[in-house]
Structure formats: structure tokens, C-alpha cells
Amino acid sequence: MTKADIVARVQGRIGGTKLECAALVESVLNIMKDTLESGEDVKITGFGKFSIRRKNDRRGRNPQTGEDMTITARSVLSFKPSPGLRAAVNGAD
């Protein structure tokens, strides 16, 4: 599903013009992005929780050469689905 598909579905449910719905979807996504960039979690009841996790430096190796290397520290985005979403995706009633 693309952003355009989401805009079309929002327009189908709430009406309004395509431009208004696109602005609404873009606003929600920007709010979520800004919140995550600031280090806060985004919790959506019945859907799940987006959070930023910090990973430390760690040892690794280049799979092509076998050479040892250090994988640098970084932040990663993680998503934990709510129990309701997990059940729906797995086909539970």
C-alpha cells in the first residue's frame, strides 16, 4: 500500500477533496516523524507502538572478505503491534 492508496481510502471514508485528504495524511505522518525524531514513542491504541532504540557499537565481519570490523552505533526504528492487530493479522477472531 502506498501513501496515495492511503489518501484514496481516507477520501472514501471521510469525503472531502483529494488535496484535503492528502494534506491530512501528510500532517499525521509528519507529526509521527517529528515525535520519533525527538525521541518520544508513538502509541496508537489498537494498532501498536513505534519507538526508537539505540544500538551500541558491536563487532562484526565483512561476509565477502571475512575481515573483522566494528559496526558503528546507530538508532533503529522498531514497531510492536498491539495484541488486537497481531490477532487480526494472524486470523484470530
- Specify the pLDDT at position 93: 59
Burial of 21 (0-12, 13-18, 19+ CB in 10 A): buried
Beta bridge partners of 61: 68
Global pTM value? 0.79
Joined grid coordinates for residue 4: 496515495
- Specify the pLDDT at position 84: 93
14 vs 11, 29, 52, 92, CA distance in Å? 5, 18, 32, 28
- Specify the pLDDT at position 92: 72
Residue type, 50: F
Q: What is the pLDDT along the chain (93 residues), one digit of tens a residue?
A: 999 999 999 999 999 999 999 999 999 999 999 999 999 999 999 999 999 999 999 999 999 999 999 999 999 999 999 999 999 999 875
